[in-house]
Structures are given as C-alpha cells and as structure tokens.
C-alpha cells in the first residue's frame, strides 16, 4: 500500500491576500500525517485556534507529490551515496 504523507504548517503572513510569511523562523510545523483526512483535521484545529488573527494561515502540503515513484531513485536519495 502506498503511503501518502501530508505536512501541516502555518504562520503569520505579511498580507492575508498572499502566501508570504512574515518571519520564516516562526513557521509552526504542526506535523506530518499519514493521510489527508488526518492532516485536514489537524489543519482545521489550528485554523480554528487562530481564527481571530486574519494574518494567520495554515496549509496542507502533499509530501507524496514531491516524489516520483516511477523513478529508480530521487535526487535526494542519490546524495547519500
């Protein structure tokens, strides 16, 4: 079975109409989750917790999409050799 990992992270944006973080060092990494449903629950909890700050945004990154499963190795795997 293929694992589909998702990263939930967020922070304060410079402008709520963009996705530029005010301070990258302050990005809150909520965690890595084994499926979209679990990631969505974590995202929703953080988004609701920070709803009073219009500049706060949380995102779900689909980590499984960063890897080409058809390739023999990824470029990061080759670094370890």
| Per-residue pLDDT of the chain in tens (81 residues, 90 and over written 9) | 678 899 999 999 999 999 999 999 999 999 999 999 999 999 999 999 999 999 999 999 999 888 665 655 555 555 444
Whether 42 is in a domain gets the answer: no
Cα–Cα distances in Å, from 52 out to 2, 38, 61?
38, 24, 23
In a domain, 16, yes or no: yes
Residue in 35, 25, 30, 26 with CA at minimum distance from that of residue 58: 30
C-alpha span between 9 and 37 (Å, rounded): 15
User: Does residue 81 sit within a domain?
Assistant: no
Whether the model clears a pTM of 0.85, i.e. scores above it, the answer is no
Q: What is d(CA 64, CA 42) in angstroms, rounded to the nearest whole number?
A: 18
Q: What is the pLDDT of residue 66?
A: 80
The predicted structure's pLDDT at residue 10: 97
Shortest CA distance to 8 belongs to which of 25, 24, 32, 27? Answer: 32
Look up the domain containing 11 and give its range: 1-34+56-76
């Amino acid at each position: 079975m293929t694992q589909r990992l998702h990263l939930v992270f967020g922070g304060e944006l410079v402008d709520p109409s963009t996705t530029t973080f005010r301070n990258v060092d302050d990005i809150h990494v909520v965690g890595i989750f084994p499926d979209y449903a679990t990631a969505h629950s974590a995202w929703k909890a953080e988004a609701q917790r920070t709803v009073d700050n219009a500049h706060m945004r949380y995102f779900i990154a689909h980590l499984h999409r960063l890897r080409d499963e058809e390739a023999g190795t990824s470029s990061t795997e080759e670094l370890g050799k």
